[in-house]
């Protein structure tokens, strides 16, 4: 293993709406250089919304990268890199599900793809849901459903749910809350 790795240059290759793509020139042990890709993301937050009956609200939406619909927990990007995750999670809960909660509890932090991206997702659990209304972004088309944890585990283990934040959050929720 290398004792010393340092970045000697970071070059912006593409600035996008959600991500910025860089190429980093890295020096390894002072004797050779390599080029590593780096994707900068301002961060995100997600929420596991739990109804009074113990069901979990999930959103079904089209994901361009996969060219299909996915079933996920509500989530979204931070408005700014310094926005508190709980603020974003609360906003996304209401925007995507039409419910709000004054009882969000931190569950876990996730790093989505540590090999080349710095994205961090803070995940919260929302209970005592209060009916409100959806405030979908102009490019969001979401179907809402309520599922038991058993139904969701079946969907995870059958491969229907593959989204890493959703799988991680649901299984963490089960371990922490479904004893």
The structural domains of the chain, with segments of one domain joined by +, span 5-40, 44-178
Q: Which residues contact 166 (CB under 8 A, 6 or more apart)?
A: 46, 58, 71, 72, 73
1 has pLDDT over 80: no
79-124 pLDDT, tens digit each: 999 999 999 999 999 999 999 999 999 999 999 999 999 999 999 9
Q: Which of 61, 66, 65 is nearest to 76 (CA)?
A: 61
User: Average pLDDT, whole number, for the chain?
Assistant: 94
The pair of structure tokens assigned to 125 is 């659990």
Choice between 139 and 169, residue whose per-residue pLDDT is larger: 169
pLDDT at 179: 76
pLDDT at 2: 58
138 included as an active-site residue: yes
pLDDT at 141: 82
23-54 pLDDT, tens digit each: 999 999 988 999 999 999 999 999 999 999 99
In angstroms, the Cα distances linking 102 to 15, 45, 61, 125, 175 are: 36, 16, 26, 11, 23
pTM for the whole thing? Answer: 0.92
139-167 pLDDT, tens digit each: 778 899 999 999 999 999 999 999 999 99
pLDDT at 126: 98
Dump the DSSP string for 127-175. Answer: -S-EE------TT---EEEEE-HHHHHHHHHTTS---HHHHHHHHHHHH
Read off the pLDDT of each residue in 67-83 and give the average, rounded to a whole number.
95
136 has pLDDT over 80: no
CATH of region 44-178: 3.90.79.10
The pair of structure tokens assigned to 108 is 């876990």
- The one catalytic residue in 138, 140, 154, 174 is 138
């Amino acid at each position: 293993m290398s004792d010393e790795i340092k970045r000697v240059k970071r070059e912006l290759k593409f600035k996008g709406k959600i991500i910025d793509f860089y190429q980093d020139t890295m020096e390894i042990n002072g004797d050779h250089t390599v080029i590593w890709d780096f994707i900068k993301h301002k961060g995100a937050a997600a929420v596991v919304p739990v109804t009074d009956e113990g069901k979990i609200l999930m959103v079904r939406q089209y994901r361009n990268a996969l060219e299909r619909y996915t079933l996920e927990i509500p989530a979204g990007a931070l408005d700014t890199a310094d926005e508190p995750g709980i603020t974003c999670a609360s906003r996304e809960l209401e925007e995507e599900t039409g419910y709000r909660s004054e009882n969000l509890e931190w569950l876990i932090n996730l790093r989505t793809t540590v090999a080349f991206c710095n994205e961090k997702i803070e995940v919260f659990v929302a209970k005592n849901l209060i009916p409100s209304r959806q405030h979908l972004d102009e490019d969001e088309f979401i179907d809402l459903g309520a599922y038991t944890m058993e139904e969701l585990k079946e969907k995870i283990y059958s491969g229907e749910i593959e989204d890493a934040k959703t799988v991680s959050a649901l299984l963490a929720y089960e371990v922490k809350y479904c004893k």
